[in-house]
Structures are given as structure tokens and as C-alpha cells.
Structure 1
Amino acid sequence: MAEKQDYYEILGVSRGASESDIKSAYRKLCKEYHPDVASNKAQAEKKFKEINEAYEVLSSPEKRSVYDRFGHAGLKGAGFGEGDFGFGGFGGSIFEDVFDAFFGRAAQGGAGRRGHTRPTRGSDLEMDLEISLEEAFSGLEREIEIPVLVACDRCKGNGAKPGTHTETCSACNGTGEVWHVQNTFLGQIIQ
């Protein structure tokens, strides 16, 4: 795949160009390469798309800052997409997360109440870790230690003294989970 041309070169401006310089260069090039006025429409259309992509990045302070530091790879890694500016960074997962929060996986054809399985042990472990922006873009491998609770040797984690009888919880029936059914105008929500 051919390497992408520098956005500053496409617009014919320097890296220190002001927002107004970028805007004026963009407008001038749009008039020159607009497919409706150019003689070679196919070539003009390609150039026009490049000009629009360059302007989309350089006119946004956030995207321009990322591009200045990391180039095209930085924009792709930051979720801005390539060639799809305006919609980059908004994959389906953000909407799936919101949908899951209200209705759970069962509403999407995932496991419902009957097919519910217990979570994998340790799957809910979380830890805050600070990394720099450079590490986030270039990738990072770091060994970390996470403190883990271990079952007591004396009671084996059930909380009862040795030789005594343990009672099953009447609220969760020993599963550790309690289901709540909530009726809404959309139907029932089981949590």
C-alpha cells in the first residue's frame, strides 16, 4: 500500500500555519480541484478527497495535535479512522454497551436467565494503571501485580467454624446472585 502524503504538503502550508492560513489554502484548492470544474474529473476527484481529508485533520485542534506528534498512525490509533473522518471512533460497541446496560445480553440473543453461567473467576478484577500518551499510541507491555483474596484455610471460604453446619442463603439460594425483575413500558428487565 502506498504511503499517505503529508497533510501539510497536500494543502501547501507549513507545519506552523495558522487556522486561517489552513482554511484559505483549503478553499483555494477546493476551487481548483472540485470535480465539477476540473477537466480531468477522475484525477480531480481523488485530489479533492485528499484535500478534504487533510483539512478535516488540520482544522481540528485535537486531530492536528495527534497528527503533529504521531502522523497518520496516531490518527488511526486514536480512533479517528482513516478516510472516514466525522464518524471515526464510534464503532458499534458504544451502542452495544448502552443496550447491554439496559437490557443485558439476553435482549441481543445472548445468554438469558436460563443459560446464565457464573462469571469466570478473576474476570472482574480491575486495576488503575497510568500510562503516557506516547505509550498508549506505541503500545506497552508491563508486568503488574494484582492482590487477590484467597480462601481461608480454616473455613475454606464459607465463614463457618470447622465442624459446624453452613446454611444456604434464602435470598440467593447459594448462588451469590439475586435477580430483580423490573417492569417498564418496554417490557420486563431482569437484573
Structure 2
Amino acid sequence: SLMTQAGPEIGVASTKAFTTQLTALMLLTLALGRVRGLDETVQAEVVTALRGLPRLVERVLALDPAIEALSMAFAEKHHALFLGRGAHFPIALEGALKLKEISYIHAEAYPAGELKHGPLALVDSDMPVISVAPNDELLDKLKSNLQEVRARGGELFVFADEGVGLEAADGIHVLHLPRVHEALAPILYT
């Protein structure tokens, strides 16, 4: 077993446990990578980025007032859809779980690349769609998925890397998160 040192959970939603599990798994991945010949420069980059992660998390936590303001759009909603691509699909799953646990709003997560094969048919102005948009190799494909949601009248709530060029518009709410090493983006976006 891996010790996460998360401490006791106080709230209903176990956010500390999930975040510390992701961090512990990243450390395990680095250790296994070292055994298998991971380039030392890459390892050093990730470790340096891990050390800077608390500062970035503080910046994300400072978004609470903006998130609270956006949450008012959910007050009368009964369903929500979370989207993520690649390593961020599990983050979408976690987001949907947290929304259900805290607000009792029905929420589902779906891989954004599979959007056309089911949930897109359910998207309309009454179903908010929440997505994470880190700056990675899948960003352009995700942007295309987001355009599909808007074409169906879906209201988007996007947690985006501050450098990806996504801006708020009619029906699109964007919260800019600080740039982070790609390997650590799932931790920050949680």
C-alpha cells in the first residue's frame, strides 16, 4: 500500500484522498520510470513541477468566488455532463461524482472523444456541460467537442489552461487555471 498522508477527511466529498492518491501515483510512476530508464532530465522536470504544485493549487483555490458565482447557473438544473479527454477523463468522472455527492444533481462523465456516440443527443440548454481543457496534444480535438456542445445549445463551463486561447462568450464560461507541467495537470484540474 501507498501512504498518502492525506489526514482525516472532514467533508462528504473525499477531495484530499483523491488528490493525494494522484500525487502518490505520480511519485510511484517516477520511481518505476527511473528503474526502466526514464530520462533524468524528464524526471527532474516533473519533480520540480511537483514541488511548485502547492503554489498553483493556491491560485486555483483563489478562484472560489468565481466558481461560486458560476454555481448559481446550476441551482435549477437536474442533470450535468462532464467531459475529459485522455488522462483527464478520470478527472471528469471525479467531477461528476463530486457534483452528485454535494448537490444531489444527476451528473455523468463521458470521454469527450466519444461525445457523438451517445450523450451529445441529450445536450441542450438545460444540461450544463463541464470540461477540463489543459494545454496538451488533445486540446484541438477537445475544442471541436466543445463546439459540438455549443451547436446543440449546451451551456459550457470550461476549466482551461490560461494559455490555450479559450475565452468566455455567450453560453461559454471559462475559468483560467495556471499553466502546469502536462504530467501534473490531472492533479491541478482535480
Task: Tell which has more relative contact order, 1 or 2 (C-alpha 8 A, sep 6+).
Answer: 2
Q: Which structure has the highest helix share of the two?
A: 2
TM-score, normalised via structure 1 length: 0.23
Task: Normalising by structure 2, report the TM-score.
Answer: 0.23
Q: Which protein shows a greater Rg? A: 1
